[in-house]
Amino acid sequence: MTGTGRTLADARRWALIGTDLVLEATAGLDDGGYAAPSALPGWSRAHVAAHVAANAEALSNLVHWAATGEPTPMYASPEERAAGIERGRALPAAALTTWLRRSADALEAGMDRLTEGQWVHEVVTAQGRTVPATELPWMRSREVCVHAVDLATGLSFASLPADFLTALCDDVVGKRSTAAGGPAVTLTAVDTGAVWQLPGDGEPVHVTGDLSALTAYLTGRDADLRTAAGAPAPTLGAWL
């Protein structure tokens, strides 16, 4: 198992689904379509697409590390990471779409070639976490699934697989539970019955909604959720 209740096979399946959603969302975009705003403040759709393409190349570096034992960081530096996104978002539409597809195909092919022994080799993420290579498909599935929605072409969190949403909520709650400060929140998915507890300051605030809306809320997207008392759900800090 990798993480809580998810397997390597799960993560690889979600990564493929998310990649397909990104490619479908961008397939018909011209320069004007890419220049339109995304759901992320200050970013166009081109920014999101370039970020996803660069992420595939960065994770391919970690796949190479796992396969060869040669330390290969995701990015040369945070500055180079940002510069790569800026270069990518300025590409013509056809070139950006091609980069998205080719980088995704190369990552998938690289993961296909990993042996059982190589999958357990440890690599270091851009955040400095040391993880086994089995974590890489999960990292990719988060990127493509969430950013497929961020492209703002009509997809929502409800467009994503329910088992992925549950796994993502587990993951985000785990990360948020280790962060200092913030409000205590109890979240209940009315459609699945799942319950998550966010530790924090004060008595827990109760927030309910569909699983997709709770996932959007936990990942910092606008879900327009309210507490049991009718107030807006408390604002959460960054999760990654």
pLDDT digits (tens, 9 = 90+) for 7-58: 999 999 999 999 999 999 999 999 999 999 999 999 999 999 999 999 999 9
Residue written as token pair 């799942």: 194
Of the options 1.10.3470.10, 1.20.120.450, 2.60.120.200, 3.30.470.20, the CATH number for the domain spanning 8-155: 1.20.120.450
Which range, of 92-106, 111-125, 129-143, 198-212, averages the lowest pLDDT?
Answer: 198-212
Structure confidence at residue 1 (pLDDT): 32
Does residue 118 have a pLDDT over 60? Answer: yes
Please state the φ and ψ torsions of residue 236, each to the nearest 5 degrees: -105, 150
Grouping H, G, I as helix, E, B as strand and the rest as coil, residue 160 is: coil
pTM for the full predicted model: 0.94
Domain regions of the chain by residue span: 8-155, 162-218
* Other CB atoms within 10 A of residue 142 CB: 22
Grouping H, G, I as helix, E, B as strand and the rest as coil, residue 45 is: helix
Task: Give Cα 38 distance to the centre of its chain.
Answer: 15
